[in-house]
């Protein structure tokens, strides 16, 4: 994981914002409608995804042609602090589809807005936050970048286990946000590519075991050689428009029923 003890997140950000907590908008999904170069007095409800636009739930593309123009969801308990990140992301060409300030809304917001990536800015990841990240990682995985001031090794381990792709300590300069997002996306793609390859290999091994067992049954029942038993399985698969693994399962199932 990427653990950076580097510069402050935003050079012009007041120090008081790093620790501030504003409960007025607690739990809201918010988004500013003001121009990027101004800090608005208030923020309004986020723009919903247009009706009829497909929302991916439980499945996410693990290939990004470019990180430019990504739909990103932000989580920060402090709306003022979140605003600086949103402005920076929009200047980089990304679209912030939702801003969350309550960990309990993370999972539902991902299902609703289907962001390409999630950025979390928190002093220290809470148990509630990590539990919801686990749900997201299991059901609808996305690249997750976490900016935090928590250097504790156990906190890092828990965040990584929850699905955090890049864990950034003590913030960073605005110009480093894009490389970190690119790194998180690349690691996310690589991890899920490895998962797909592993699942494919396991399926092939499982199918091979089934075919070997089914061949043994046919060799015994029909008194044929191994090659002939395999040919029979292939013919059954072609005739029934099934995979040879599924045919092998049927052969084993019938043999089991017949004793």
pLDDT at 50 over 80: no
Average pLDDT along the chain? 75
Tell me the sheet residues that pair with 121: 147
Topology annotation, domain 15-172? Rossmann fold (3.40.50)
* pLDDT for res 28: 40
CB environment 224-253: b (16+ within 10 A), e (fewer): eeeeebbebbeebbeeeeeebbebbbbbbe
Model confidence pLDDT, tens digit, residues 85-115 = 888 888 888 999 999 889 999 999 999 999 9
| Most confident region among 45-54, 64-73, 171-180 by mean pLDDT | 171-180
> Which CATH number does the domain 201-258 belong to among 3.90.1150.10, 1.10.10.10, 3.10.580.10, 3.10.400.10?
1.10.10.10
Give the torsion through C-alpha atoms of 172, 178, 180, 184, to 10 deg.
Answer: 150
Mean pLDDT across the stretch 29-46? 38
Q: Give CATH 3.40.50.2300 domain extents, the chain.
A: 15-172
In this prediction, residue 212 has a pLDDT band, given cuts at 50, 70 and 90, of very high
* pLDDT for res 200: 83
Q: State how far the Cα of 250 lies from the Cα of 244, in Å rounded to an integer.
A: 10
Model confidence pLDDT, tens digit, residues 230-239 = 999 999 999 8
Mean pLDDT across the stretch 201-209? 88
131 phi/psi in degrees, rounded to 5: -65, -40
């Amino acid at each position: 994981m990427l653990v950076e003890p580097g510069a402050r997140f935003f050079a012009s950000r007041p120090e008081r914002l790093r620790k501030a907590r504003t409960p007025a908008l607690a739990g809201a999904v918010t988004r500013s409608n003001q121009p990027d170069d101004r800090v608005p007095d208030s923020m309004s409800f986020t723009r919903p995804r247009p009706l009829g636009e497909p929302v991916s739930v439980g499945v996410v593309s693990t290939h990004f042609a470019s990180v430019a123009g990504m739909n990103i969801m932000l989580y920060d308990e402090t709306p003022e602090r979140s605003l600086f990140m949103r402005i920076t992301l929009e200047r980089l060409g990304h679209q912030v589809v939702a801003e969350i300030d309550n960990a309990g809304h993370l999972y539902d917001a991902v299902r609703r807005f289907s962001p390409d990536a999630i950025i979390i800015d928190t002093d220290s990841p809470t148990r509630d936050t990590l539990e919801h990240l686990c749900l997201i990682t299991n059901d609808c995985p996305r690249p997750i970048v976490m900016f935090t001031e928590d250097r504790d090794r156990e906190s890092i381990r828990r965040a990584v286990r929850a699905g955090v792709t890049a864990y950034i300590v003590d913030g960073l300069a605005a110009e480093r946000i894009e490389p970190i997002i690119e790194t998180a996306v690349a690691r996310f793609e690589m991890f899920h590519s490895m998962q797909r390859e592993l699942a494919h290999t396991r399926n092939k091994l499982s199918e091979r075991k089934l075919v070997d067992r089914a061949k043994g049954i046919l060799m015994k029942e029909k008194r044929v050689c191994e090659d002939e038993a395999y040919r029979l399985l292939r013919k059954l698969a072609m005739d029934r428009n099934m995979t040879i693994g599924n045919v092998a399962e049927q052969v084993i199932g019938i043999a089991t029923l017949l004793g």
